Structure 1
């Protein structure tokens, strides 16, 4: 039997790209279980070329009962080897206009799926006596806050803390826990956002995104999937407790009004009488 994996928030975007990347490793992957709250988003599973190697579980990734069902389905198809916590809720709120309870509920909505996934995965790895890898999907916002996104920023910072805590506690038991901190990624949600801005607005945003990411563009879901695939693999066997930026350099860029164009030549200076 091959290795099996669970991916949350797998209906579209990064989550689906991770599922497809894992299924592409046919020599090692037994089954990939995709958890998604929106049943319509998993319609692609039916008739997928992967056949029984991919299974859909509909439900809230923050519900331990849903996570347990996914773990059962994964273990029916192979040895549970990895778990990817990608599910997220994108809803903004600020404390001056929303109640503390509303903000806390939104923090929980983003933290609970990672906690439920980690809890289930760790327990299954320990019960089976097998090593395993967990990858939590975080964001550059965990370290660089965006105004108006308090719940998301707070939750992602907590996810990175959870990653470190579990890596330290369960590393001696053969369980690695890492995170990837994403920059802006061109998902369906990103494209829908641009479509709502109109041609001029979309062009302005695309230009700003190019400035924010030193590679001059936003990322692609398959690029994130490749990084996650590596962290799940044996090639990353000594990586534990890390948060890996997958952001095109966004988190290390310092924008400054004195920034110079690297293509521009410095003005020549000559000493008096120099030839």
Structure 2
């Protein structure tokens, strides 16, 4: 089987589809023959992503706020109507929140991060699993973070939300392990994306490049990862090559977790 046939005809749903990781992952699935539904709350951004990726294969879009149960049910219905199935779900949408100590964090800021990063992941699991249970197969990959395994200062809401994603992954994996469905989570360290540009500017508005250099210096590999490096791990976890990988927390952190 060639790379272009590995996911031939399979249906993949990606939330946060307009983002750098979402687009990179869509690209990897498309070149392997998958049909992809990109889900994002930003209509113009996700449509632009579709136009960029359209030459690679069958890609469509749905506009949704992942924290809204009606919107989540809507994008799942769109996928089923378009594809008849959902073989792979990349439960990827997330936000970083504001960088601030716990004592300065407003409850509203905390709730906003949890609405997207936790409620959004939960609702995605809830509605996509119903489809996968009916069809008797599927692979789900949740995007957590190295912050979902470790602590970090001034990002308590983000850290707590990503730990919650880890817990949701484990619980879901155990619930559906005998139903032909696998659920795993990925845990990247900093990825070279607009999200990191925002965080760098928050840490040091006058010299964000200094923040980037400091982060890279702390990495055993001396750099950020590229979105394509995250995408390739997602594709592996979705593939039959990962048929006995379930409930796992996969670090994509350049060795940070070994330190």
Name the stretch that deviates more: 170-179 or 182-191.
Answer: 182-191
RMSD: 2.2
Aligned CA distance change for structure 1 residues 238 and 12 (closer, same or farther; 3 Å): same
Which one of the candidate residues 12, 16, 22 is aligned to 2:29?
22
Q: Residue 125 of structure 1: SS of its match in structure 2?
A: helix
The structure 1 residue matched to 2:110, chosen from 90, 103, 113, is: 103
2:43 to 30, 39, 45: 39
The correspondence for 1:66, drawn from 71, 96, 100, is: 71
| Alignment-derived partner of residue 115 in structure 1 | 122
Q: 2:257 maps to what in 1?
A: 251
CA distance in 2, matches of 1:204, 1:100: 31
Deviations along 1:19-69, one digit per CA (max 9) or x if unpaired, are 11111112xx1x211111111211231472146x11111120222322233
Shift in Å at residue 204 of structure 1? 2.5
Which residue of 53, 56, 60 maps to 1:55?
A: 60
Shift of 1:6: 0.6
The 10-residue stretch of structure 1 (83-92 or 239-248) with the greater mean CA deviation from structure 2: 83-92
Asked if the contact 1:176–1:241 (Cα under 8 Å) also holds between the matched residues in 2, the reply is yes
Which residue, 181, 186, 208 being the options, matches 1:180?
186
Residues 106 and 202 from structure 1, CA distance in 2 versus in 1: closer, same or farther, beyond 3 angstroms? closer
Quote how far apart the aligned CAs of 1:95 are. 3.5
Whether 1:205 aligns to 2:211 is yes
Deviations 1:218-261 (A, max 9, x none): 000000000000001111000000000011112222xxxxxxxx
Computing the radius of gyration over CA atoms, which structure comes out larger, 1 or 2? Answer: 1
d(CA) in 1 for partners of 2:122 and 2:200? Answer: 32
Is 2:66–2:116's contact at 8 Å kept on the other side of the alignment?
no
Aligned partner of residue 14 in structure 2, secondary structure = strand
Summarize the Cα distance change of 1:160–1:194 in structure 2 as closer, same or farther, 3 Å threshold: closer
Task: Decide which of 85, 91, 105 is 1:85's aligned counterpart.
Answer: 91
SS of alignment partner, residue 240 of structure 1: coil
Cα deviation digits, residues 91-110 of structure 1 (max 9, x gap): 12544223445424432331
SS of alignment partner, residue 160 of structure 1: helix
| Conservation of the 8 A alpha-carbon contact between 2:93 and 2:116 | no
Contact 1:62 1:117 in 2 (8 A): no
Relative to structure 1, the CA distance from residue 90 to residue 122 in structure 2 (aligned partners, 3 Å threshold; closer, same or farther) is same
Q: Report if aligned partners of 1:62, 1:115 keep a CA contact under 8 Å in 2.
A: no
Comparing 208-217 and 222-231, the one that deviates more: 208-217
Structure 2 length normalisation: TM-score? 0.87
Q: Is the 8 A contact 2:191 2:224 kept in 1?
A: yes
Q: Is contact 1:178-1:241 (8 Å) kept?
A: yes
Tell me, yes or no, if the aligned pair for 2:64 and 2:75 is still in contact at 8 Å: no
The structure whose residues are more often helix, as a share, is 2
Cα pair 1:23 1:50 within 8 Å, conserved: yes
In the alignment, structure 2 segments of 5+ residues that lack a partner are: 1-7
